[in-house]
Amino acid sequence: MLGLFPENFKFSKFGFARISPEMDNKKNFFEKISYKKNKDLLIKDRKDAGALKVKKENLQKSYNLYADLLLKYGYIKFAEKLVGDKIYPFVVMHMLNDKKTKELIWHRDQYFHGKNFIGPKFKLYKLAIYLQDTNKNNGVTGFIPKLISPRFRNRYLDTMFAYLSSFLSIHPRLSVGEAIIFSGKVMHHRPKQKNNNFREAIIFSCTNSPNNLPNLKDNENEFLNFYIKTKIDYGIK
């Protein structure tokens, strides 16, 4: 299943790459793990433009599911091939947008503001798996060409410039189970939901070594540690 990497398997000039693992019964599988019919288990995150997120208790109960998804279906293998380095997911977020969720404005997860580097001080990648067909109308992550997205060392100018050049942005059309990966330094946004096909996604924050996160190391409630244990159990290097 994972022997062949597709042609065109690389990061685009927009700073993201697409991961499309082959799976049987994709649609059924993702419907089963969906929270679309269990919205009472979600909590609104005002800091994330009102997105609805799976509560921590439920998230923890499904750590095995998320680790399996990454390891068995090959998302990690593809991601490692793309970045040319190891990939360690350290946080998992399972979330849904509905019509009340606002746009998550153009931003980078890591950037300079004056002399200060904001965000994690290590290599950061976001890996987002979409649970349904997703495009601009239901909140797929959008990107701006890296070339015309110079990094002002000022977050306000940087965001303003992103809006000025956003007519050149791209919003990939993804099918159920497809994922994208992008660096924390890349400009991106989440458009507002425009149709009834709620966007549900599982988003992993990843880095290239567990040593980047020494304070998570001994806490067994952290996804990173569950993931590492699962990886060892499966004998994956």
Q: Which residues bind Fe ion (CB under 5 A)?
A: 109
Residue nearest to Fe ion as judged by C-beta position = 109
Residue 18 or 189 with smaller CB distance to Fe ion:
189
Residue 31 or 109 with smaller CB distance to Fe ion:
109
Write down the least CB distance from residue 107 to Fe ion, Å. 6
Write down the least CB distance from residue 195 to Fe ion, Å. 22
Write down the least CB distance from residue 141 to Fe ion, Å. 8
Element at 76 (helix H, strand E): helix 75-83
Residue 45 or 109 with smaller CB distance to Fe ion:
109
Residue 120 or 210 with smaller CB distance to Fe ion:
120
Kindly provide the b/e burial profile for residues 16-25, where b requires at least 16 CB atoms within 10 angstroms of the residue's own CB: bbbbebebee
Q: Which residues, including other chains, have CB under 8 Å from residue 107's CB and lie 6 or more apart?
A: 155, 159, 187, 188, 189
Write down the least CB distance from residue 81 to Fe ion, Å. 23
Instruction: Report angle CA 18, 24, 30 to the nearest 5 degrees.
Output: 70
Q: Smallest Cα–Cα separation from 174: which of 42, 60, 30?
A: 30
Distance CA 190, CA 179 (A): 15
Residue 177 or 184 with smaller CB distance to Fe ion:
184
Write down the least CB distance from residue 119 to Fe ion, Å. 9
One-letter amino acid for residue 102 of the chain: K
Distance CA 65, CA 33 (A): 9
